[in-house]
Amino acid sequence: MERQALLPWRLAGIVGTLVLWEIAGRTLGDERLAAPTLVAVAAWDLIAHGPLVTELLGSLRQLLVGYGLACLVGMPLGAAMGRSRRCDVIVHPWLSMLVVTSAAALVPLFLVLFGSGLMFRMAIVFMASVWFITLTTYEGAKRIEARHLDVARSFGASPMQRFRYVLLPALYPYLLAGARIGLIHALRAMVMAEMFVLVGYGALIHQTGLDLSTAPLLALLVVLMTVSLGANAVLQRIGRVCAPWYENRRRAR
Amino acid sequence: MPHSKLIIEDISKTFRRDDGTQMPVLLNQSMEVADREFVALLGPSGCGKSTLLRIINGLVATDTGRVLLNGKDITGRPGEGCGMVFQSSDLLPWRTALGNVEFGLEVQGVGKADRQRVSRDLLRRVGLTEFEHAYPHQLSGGMQQRVGIARAFAINPEVLLMDEPFGALDVQTRDDMQVELLRLWEDNQKTVLFVTHGIEEALYLADRVMVFSPRPARVLKVFDIPFPRPRREEIKTEPLFLEMRREIGGLLRASREPALA
């Protein structure tokens, strides 16, 4: 169905859920589950007067360092694994093990290794996202078609030109997909790590959880989800602008 | 032939199968092609004629022998005067039609204005002016192969190598493309090596048809095609055409028989 034809259903889904939540909230009381109307008020209050924005920005700044490093390491590593059999057999066992390891399980070890400061949070964010970025790039690099590389060679392209004109554009959609998956894992790991060492947005959630009312806590969660969705949408948008052939091709199928 | 454009000397190729056994594909093949000659390499699918074309282009390393273009050794060196049209056009999906035609010139470092001028002119000649911004997935199979041909013409190659370029198209489109290819070629005559398994296609297009045996490929017989240029489609029903068609068909069938027994 067309996007526009589905719009009323989309809205009905959101509104319906909010109504159910409101009823549940009023029945249970705000010390157990605050209703969305109360959550909205609490969110406004936290954004306008509380520490929400400062803590969030502080956390995101540190997240970007760990996540940025994960992209810088994961993308070339995944590409190298996808193009070189040797690199693949060396790295793959470790990649397979680490990608299924929960970042939370690494917290005790990382606390010992890095203490509880900036390094710790960066390391957790890095570990939580780098393997997904590597794996997605790897899948893309494996799927680069030999016939496209043959075309480039046939026209006399040097290895550097083949990288620039074939490998990079063919990898592009996978790099973006990896970046998006990685970012979501990075955001999750960030809050999780902060709750262990009680700093930043994670600490805010932890402390607010001790409040009598659940309204501010739920407000913090809603804001976090909105930020994650927003970041995801921005990356998706970048992908659509930079690789129109890919989006069009998917729609054509 | 005193002025051979392209000389192929003693080319052999053996591939190794996955189980380690050897599969000879080409055995001591030699041929000479004159300037502006249109030669069809005709043979059953998978006989090794495509491999020969890829060796000439330098995409596949040969085990023995060498390839000379204007007397210069170009063995194993792609991009030296040969332009290739690939079997299923193999356009780069992230480039528009125009971008694909520009590709070879971009690799050669030609400036943007120049390569766009050349590419637009070629797109016009293959009738795709309105589609220059279209991506390959938005084009039909015939249109894609037109872009593929324009891409090969764009670098103004001395030799045009065509690897079953119309094999994946439906019959009607294939016939149209043959007419169009001849029109392009007559405007800008190049030396052409055209790999095909269609007898009619080979007879209609070429000055000379080399008929290959099944793997390992060797030339069974060479036919000089007497029909005048520019070729008209009507020759396909002339008695001589039909007679040659029958003879080549018989030759190919006879060469297949031992394999069946």
Rounded to 10 degrees, the C-alpha dihedral A37/A38/A39/A43 comes to: 110
What's the rounded Cα separation, in Å, for the pair B161 and A189? Answer: 55
Q: CA-CA distances (angstroms) from residue B26 to B39, B45, B77, B84, B222? A: 18, 14, 19, 20, 17
Q: Sheet holding B159-163: strands in order across?
A: B82-85, B159-163, B191-196, B38-42, B208-212, B219-224
* A103 phi and psi angles, rounded to 5 deg: -60, -30
Q: What digits encode the pLDDT tens for the residues B9-42? A: 999 999 988 888 888 888 888 999 999 999 999 9
Report whether pLDDT(A71) > 50: yes
Q: Model-level pTM greater than 0.90?
A: no
Asked if the bond preceding B216 is cis, omega within 30° of 0, the reply is yes
- Cβ-based contacts under 8 A for chains A and B: 70
Contact yes or no for A147 and B108 at CB 8 A? no
* Nearest residue on chain A to B85, alpha-carbon basis: A151
**Given pLDDT bands bounded at 50, 70 and 90, which one contains residue A1?**
low
Question: Measured between beta carbons, which residues in chain B are less than 8 angstroms from residue A170?
Answer: 94
Contact yes or no for A154 and B135 at CB 8 A? no
Q: Quickly count: other Cβ atoms within 10 Å of residue B93's Cβ.
A: 17
Residue in A147, A155, A248 nearest the CB of B135: A248
Contact yes or no for A150 and B86 at CB 8 A? yes
Cα angle for residues A127, A230, A251 (degrees, 5° grid) = 95
Contact yes or no for A248 and B84 at CB 8 A? no
- The alpha carbon of residue A244 is apart from the nearest alpha carbon of chain B, in Å, by 8
Q: What percent of chain A has pLDDT over 90?
A: 75
Contact yes or no for A151 and B103 at CB 8 A? yes
Confidence (pLDDT) at A248: 56
Pair of tokens at residue A176: 């973006």
Closest CA to A136 of A104, A99, A164: A99
Pair of tokens at residue A109: 């070890």
Q: What digits encode the pLDDT tens for the residues B170-199? A: 889 999 999 999 999 988 889 999 999 999
**Residues sharing a CB contact under 8 Å with residue A52, sequence separation 6 or more, in sequence order:** A46, A204, A220, A223
Question: Measured between beta carbons, which residues in chain B are less than 8 angstroms from residue A147?
Answer: 86, 88, 90
Pair of tokens at residue B78: 């792609």
Confidence (pLDDT) at B1: 45
Report whether pLDDT(B161) > 50: yes
Q: Quickly count: other Cβ atoms within 10 Å of residue B247's Cβ.
A: 14
Q: CA-CA distances (angstroms) from residue A43 to A40, A53, A114, A215, A216? A: 5, 11, 34, 8, 6
* B87 phi and psi angles, rounded to 5 deg: -50, -55
Contact yes or no for A244 and B90 at CB 8 A? no
Residue in A157, A169, A243 nearest the CB of B107: A157
Confidence (pLDDT) at B255: 84
Question: Measured between beta carbons, which residues in chain A are less than 8 angstroms from residue B103?
Answer: 151-152, 155, 165
Contact yes or no for A151 and B86 at CB 8 A? yes
Q: What is the 3-state secondary structure (H, E, C) of chain A?
A: CCHHHHHHHHHHHHHHHHHHHHHHHHHHCCCCCCCHHHHHHHHHHHHHCCCHHHHHHHHHHHHHHHHHHHHHHHHHHHHHHHHCHHHHHHHHHHHHHHHCCCHHHHHHHHHHHHCCCHHHHHHHHHHHHHHHHHHHHHHHHHCCCHHHHHHHHHCCCCHHHHHHHHHHHHHHHHHHHHHHHHHHHHHHHHHHHHHHHCCHHHHHHHHHCCCCCCHHHHHHHHHHHHHHHHHHHHHHHHHHHHCHHHHHHHHHC
- The pLDDT of A93-116, averaged and rounded, is 92
**Residues sharing a CB contact under 8 Å with residue A90, sequence separation 6 or more, in sequence order:** none
**A98 with A131: CB under 8 angstroms?**
yes
Contact yes or no for B137 and A170 at CB 8 A? no
Cα angle for residues B133, B134, B137 (degrees, 5° grid) = 155
Q: How much is the ipTM here?
A: 0.88
- The alpha carbon of residue B220 is apart from the nearest alpha carbon of chain A, in Å, by 29
Contact yes or no for B137 and A248 at CB 8 A? yes
With an 8 Å Cβ cutoff, the interface of chain B facing chain A consists of: 57-59, 78-80, 82-84, 86, 88, 90, 92-95, 103-104, 106-108, 135, 137-138, 155
Chain A interface test: which of B82, B92, B151 (most A C-beta within 10 Å):
B92
**A82 with A146: CB under 8 angstroms?**
no
Q: What digits encode the pLDDT tens for the residues B193-227? A: 999 999 999 999 999 999 998 888 889 899 999 99
Pair of tokens at residue A59: 């956390």
Report whether pLDDT(A246) > 80: no
Residue in A157, A161, A245 nearest the CB of B93: A245
**B25 with B215: CB under 8 angstroms?**
yes
Question: Measured between beta carbons, which residues in chain B are less than 8 angstroms from residue A248?
Answer: 135, 137-138
With an 8 Å Cβ cutoff, the interface of chain A facing chain B consists of: 147-148, 150-157, 161, 165-166, 169-170, 172, 243-246, 248-249, 252
Contact yes or no for B94 and A154 at CB 8 A? no
β-pair partners for B73: B68
Q: CA-CA distances (angstroms) from residue A195 to A201, B112, B127? A: 8, 55, 64
Cα angle for residues B210, B213, B215 (degrees, 5° grid) = 130
